[in-house]
Amino acid sequence: MKVTTSEMVATRAVATRRRFEKLLETLFLAGAWLALTLVIALLVVILSDILADGWVRLNWKFLTSFPSRHPEEAGIFSAWVGTVYVMALTALIALPIGVGAAIYLEEFASRNWFARLVELNINNLAGVPAIIYGLLGLQVFVRWCRMGESVLAGACTLALMSLPVIIVASREALRAVPNSIREAALALGATKWQTVRDHVLPLALPGILTGTILALSRAIGEAAPLITIGALTFVAFLPKSPLDPFTVLPIQAYNWVSRPQPEFHQNAAAALIVLLALLSLMNGIATYLRNRYQQRWQI
Amino acid sequence: MRELMRERTIRKALWQERVMLTLLMFCALVSVVTTLAIVVTLTVEAVGFFRVVPIWRFLTEREWTPLFANKKFGILPLICGTMLTAGIAIIISVPLALLIATYLAEYAPPKLRRRLKSVTELLAGIPSVLYGYFALLFVTPLLQKFIPSMSTFNALSPGIVLGFMVLPTIASLSEDIIYAVPQSIREASLALGGTKLQTTFYAVLPAASSGIIAACLLGFARAIGETMLVAIAAGMMPNLTLNPLEPVETMTAYIVQVALGDVPHGTLEYRTIFTVGLTLFVLTLILNLTGIFLRERFLRVLRRM
C-alpha cells in the first residue's frame, strides 16, 4: 500500500490538531478546578478567620450580658433574643401569606393576565435589594402604621422581603404533588379547597417548610433593612412586647466591627460565630425535613 | 330530613370554597401591593426632594454632601462608588462562575455535580456582615502588604469579596441554563466530528448565551444592591473616583449612614435616602427585567426545539 505525501501531511495535521485540542481541554479543566479550589479555599479561610478571632470571647457570660462600653464586659443577650423574637414573628406573618399565594397561583388561578402579572411581579421582587424593603418598612410600618422602631415593624419588613422566596419554594412543593391525588379527591366529590386542604397541602408541607426555613435564614442574616427601619444598635434590655425596640445579631456585630478598638472586633467575630451557628442549625433542620419526608412518587 | 342535611353540607362546602378563594387571592395580591407600595413610598418622598433640588442638579453635580453645612446634591459620586465596587465584583465573579458552571454542567459526573453545587451555594448563605468583617479585617490588611498606598477603606477589597458573594447566583443560574440545553445540539456537533471541548464552546455555550447573559445581569443587580459588605469595608465618603484604592461610598451605604443617625421625618436629609433608594430601585429594576426577559426568551426557544 502506497501512502502519498499529501496524505501523510494531512494525517500529521490532524494529529497536531488533536494534540492541540487535548491541551486546550486540559487547560479548561485546570481552570475550572482552580476556580472551584478558590471557592472552597475562601470558605475555609473565612470560617477559620472568624473562629480564630472570636473563639476566645465565646462563653456563657458573653451570651447572657447586655452590650457595654467596655468590650470585655459586653455581650449579646439582647441581640440573640431580638433575633429569635423577630424570626418567630416573621415566620408567623410570612408563612400563611406565602403559602396562600402559592396555593392560589398553583391550584386556582387560570393562566390569565392576572396570574402572569403576579408571576412576573414575584420574580422581580426576588431581585429587589434588601435595603429597599427597609425603606418601604420605614415609611409604611414605622410611620404610616405607627408601629415605631419595634419588633413588629421589623418582622413585617422581613416578612415582605422573604415572601417571594417562600412563594416560589411553596409552588415547587405543590407542583411536585402528582395530579392523580387531586383527581381522586375531586372524583369523590370534594371541592377544590377541600382537595387542597386535606390532600395536596399535607403532602407538600415538608417541601414548603424547607423552603420557608431557608428563606428565613437568609432574611435573619441581613442587617440592612432593619438598620434602615431604625432598629437600635445599643439595647440594654429585652423586648417584652412586639411593640418594643430591639436589636439583632448582625446589627450588633456591625456596630462592633465599625469601632476602631480590636477588642470590639473580637466581640463582633464572636457574635458572628453565634449567628453562623444559628443559621447552620436552621439549614440542618431544613435538610433533615427534606431528606426525611421527601416522597418518591411512583405513578 | 336526610335530604336537608345533605344540602346543608354541600352549601357549607361551597360557601367555604368561595371564602377561601377570596382569601387566597388576597394573599397573592400582597406581592402586587408590595411592588406598588415600594414605587409609591419612594416616589412620594423623591418628589418632595425634587421640589427643593432640581433634578438636573441631582444628576449632574459632582459632589454629594447633604449632611454638611454646605449642601450639594449630586448623585454621581454615589453611583460611581456603586459601579466601582459592583464592577470589580463582576470582573472577579463572571469568569470564575462561568468556568465552574460549564465544568459542572458538561464535564462533572452527576454525583460530584450535585455535591460541588451545594458547596458553591454555601457561599450564598454567609451573612453579609461576616463578608464585611472579612473584607475589612482580613483582605484589606493582606492587600496592604502588597499595595502600601491602599487606604483602610477602599473599593478593591469589598469589590473582590462581593465577587465571591454573587458568584453562586451567577454560577447556579447559568449552570441550570447550560444543563437545560437540549441533547440534540450536542449530538449534532459530535456527529460532525467535534470534540467534547469544541462541542461545549461552539455549540452548547452559544445556544445558552442569552440565559448566561441573564444570569450575569441578575448577579450584577445583586452586587449593586448589596449593603452591609460595602458599608463596612468601602467607607462612607462620597468620592467621584475610579481609583479602587481610595475610600468610596455606595448608594446603599449612604442609606445606612443616614439611617444610623437620627434624622427627623420630613427633613430634606430624610428625603435624600428615598431619592437614592428610588435611583437604586430603578437601576436594579432595569437589570432584573432585562434578565427575566432574556431567560424567558431562552426557555421559549428551548421549548420549540
pLDDT for A74 equals 87
Say yes or no for a CB contact (<8 Å) between A130 and B225.
yes
Say yes or no for a CB contact (<8 Å) between A233 and B260.
yes
User: B301 touching A, CB under 8 A?
Assistant: no
For the stretch B252-301, pLDDT in tens is 999 999 998 877 888 888 899 999 999 999 999 999 999 999 988 888 88
Q: Looking at A96-100, A287-291, B114-118, B261-265, which range is the least confident one?
A: B261-265
- Using the predicted structure, report yes or no on whether residue A112 has a pLDDT greater than 90: no
User: A118 touching B, CB under 8 A?
Assistant: yes
- Using the predicted structure, report yes or no on whether residue A1 has a pLDDT greater than 90: no
pLDDT for A5 equals 77
Burial B225-237 (b: 16+ CB within 10 A, else e): bbbbbbbbbbbbb
- Using the predicted structure, report yes or no on whether residue A223 has a pLDDT greater than 60: yes
- Between residues 204 and 243 of chain A, which touch chain B (CB distance below 8 Å)? 217-218, 221-224, 227-230, 233
Q: Phi and psi of B64, rounded to 5°?
A: -130, 100
Q: Which residues pair with A150 in a beta bridge?
A: A245
pLDDT for A296 equals 64
pLDDT for A122 equals 92
Give the confidence band of A295 by pLDDT, cuts at 50, 70, 90. Answer: low
pTM of the complete model? 0.91
For the stretch A262-278, pLDDT in tens is 899 999 999 999 999 99
Q: Looking at A91-100, A106-115, A203-212, A280-289, which range is the least confident one?
A: A106-115
- CA B247 to mean position of chain CA atoms: 22
What is the C-alpha separation between B259 and A149, in angstroms, rounded?
Answer: 12
CA distance B54 to chain A (A): 22
ipTM: 0.92
Residue type, B120: T
Contact B128, B228 (CB under 8 A): yes
Domain boundaries along the sequence of chain B: 76-304
User: B217 touching A, CB under 8 A?
Assistant: no
CATH number of B76-304: 1.10.3720.10
Give the confidence band of A299 by pLDDT, cuts at 50, 70, 90. Answer: low
Residues in chain B where the model's pLDDT stays below 70: none
Contact B160, B187 (CB under 8 A): no
Say yes or no for a CB contact (<8 Å) between B232 and A254.
yes
> Closest Cα to residue B22, out of A6, A104, A183?
A104
More confident residue, A2 or B116: B116
pLDDT for B299 equals 85
CA angle A170, B97, B189 (to 5 degrees): 95
